[in-house]
Amino acid sequence: MGGRQELILGIESSCDETGCAVVAGGRDVRANRVASQVDLHARFGGVVPEVASRAHLEVITAIIDDALEESGTAAPDIAAVAVANEPGLIGSLLVGLSAAKALAWGWSKPLIGVNHIHAHACAPALAGDPVTYPAAALVCSGGHTSLYHCRGPADLQLLGATIDDAAGEAFDKVATILGLGYPGGPAVDRAAAGGDPRAVAFPRTLLDPSSLDFSFSGLKTAVRYHVEGVPGTAAAPGARRGRECLDDTAIRDIAASFQQAVVDVLIEKLRRAVERTAAASIIIGGGVAANTALRAAAAELARETGCPLHCPPPAYCTDNAAMIAALGWHHFTRGAVSGLDLAAAATIKR
């Protein structure tokens, strides 16, 4: 990294977390502030886009002030302003992007647009865990499940992605089916800890043998049918259906079996990516990378393949602005800065 230590102010608002961070040299976190909207969306069982944008708007200025104060920095110290401008909820992205543009313009600093999913793959460096490249990176979150061949922190080639639900989305929906509450991923993780992952044989959708894409909607439906019965079919005489008929053991077993099915698919695709790209190391990131079973299975894959695993601590797996500042620094050092006409994009082309 050549010893360069420019301070980048990063802003994240792509979904339901408002974040601002100050990071030096792409790895040294001076401040990392996150305001979560989890409580706001809990009663809806998912993120409501309009509610999310308004909540970002209410806190973004205070979060930026907090990050500057905590890091002891002021405008002259900051080399550039990095912002997640894609992909995400468009209204949410626009709040962070507008704030970043205002700062960049007011402070006369470069603006740097950052891909939120690529930034997840940059998170290990924030925990003092530098990655050896080329790396195979699995980023799985509430909105995305993507596999990359990374030649460097800012040089990612997409190998595969979900064709329907994201892994985190499946966790969230299964948590709702099982009545485990919101956010679903951590709740399923906790419930699964006491369950038998072999109790229910849920499907593993691997698609084509050569495919590195994912599909989780069938698994989600399989859990629903297991709990509620297959629509149009009669329950066996005397049999009862529905979540309220399940005891705690049954819920834990279903949670563990579902989680194992997700992990088996994620790890199988990651294994294929490692082999196909002759990766020197493995990265996992995104909110689902906080999952206990996935972390354990990825560690096992690392042992089997001899590729070191880079898996950030949970606080850097879930959405944060430090990872935006980290990837922003790599863009900055390559001169990849954006204009003040930078647009937000809800989706990205494959």
Binding site for ligand KG4 (CB under 6 A): 15, 141-143, 168, 171-172, 183-186, 189, 286-288, 290-291, 318-319
Binding mask 189-228 for Zn ion (x = CB under 5 A): ----------------------------------------
Name the token pair of 271. 């294994």
Nearest distance, CB of residue 167 and ligand KG4, angstroms: 7
User: Which residue, 142 or 312, has its beta carbon nearer to ligand KG4?
Assistant: 142
Query: Which residue type does 50 have?
Result: E
Nearest distance, CB of residue 45 and ligand KG4, angstroms: 12
Query: Which residue type does 253 have?
Result: D
Q: β-pairing, 281-285 with 309-310?
A: parallel
Nearest distance, CB of residue 52 and ligand KG4, angstroms: 12
Number of C-beta neighbours around residue 266 at 10 A:
26
CA angle 30, 35, 39 (to 5 degrees): 155
Query: Which residue type does 312 have?
Result: P
Among Zn ion, ligand KG4, none, residue 19 binds (CB under 5-8 Å by kind): none
Using Cβ positions, the residue closest to Zn ion within the complex turns out to be: 141
Nearest distance, CB of residue 86 and Zn ion, angstroms: 12
Which residues, including other chains, have CB under 8 Å from residue 11's CB and lie 6 or more apart? 19, 20, 60, 64, 81, 82, 83, 84, 96, 99, 100, 321, 324
3-state SS of the chain: helix, strand, coil percent to 5? 45, 20, 35
Euclidean distance between CA atoms 110 and 37, whole angstroms:
29
Backbone angles phi, psi at 192, to 5 degrees: -65, -25
Nearest distance, CB of residue 120 and Zn ion, angstroms: 6
Does the protein bind Zn ion through residue 165 (CB under 5 A)?
no
User: Which residue, 8 or 290, has its beta carbon nearer to ligand KG4?
Assistant: 290
Binding mask 232-271 for Zn ion (x = CB under 5 A): ----------------------------------------
User: Which residue, 141 or 259, has its beta carbon nearer to Zn ion?
Assistant: 141
User: Which residue, 79 or 321, has its beta carbon nearer to ligand KG4?
Assistant: 321
Nearest distance, CB of residue 98 and Zn ion, angstroms: 20
Identify whether the C-beta of residue 10 lies closer than 8 Å to the C-beta of residue 28: no
DSSP state of 233: S
Measuring CA to CA, which residue among 278, 333, 324, 342 is closest to residue 118?
324
Site for Zn ion in 317-346 (CB under 5 A): 319
Nearest distance, CB of residue 223 and ligand KG4, angstroms: 14
Site for Zn ion in 53-112 (CB under 5 A): none
User: Which residue, 24 or 29, has its beta carbon nearer to ligand KG4?
Assistant: 29
User: Which residue, 7 or 139, has its beta carbon nearer to ligand KG4?
Assistant: 139
Nearest distance, CB of residue 320 and Zn ion, angstroms: 9
Among ligand KG4, Zn ion, none, residue 291 binds (CB under 5-8 Å by kind): ligand KG4
Does the protein bind Zn ion through residue 141 (CB under 5 A)?
yes
Stretch touching Zn ion by CB under 5 A, among 156-164, 199-207, 247-255, 311-319: 311-319
Measuring CA to CA, which residue among 298, 303, 306, 299 is closest to residue 279?
306
Number of C-beta neighbours around residue 62 at 10 A:
13
Sheet holding 78-86, edge to edge: 28-36, 17-24, 7-12, 78-86, 111-115
How many CA atoms, within 13 angstroms, populate the side-chain half-sphere of residue 263? 25
List residues binding Zn ion (CB under 5 A). Answer: 141, 319
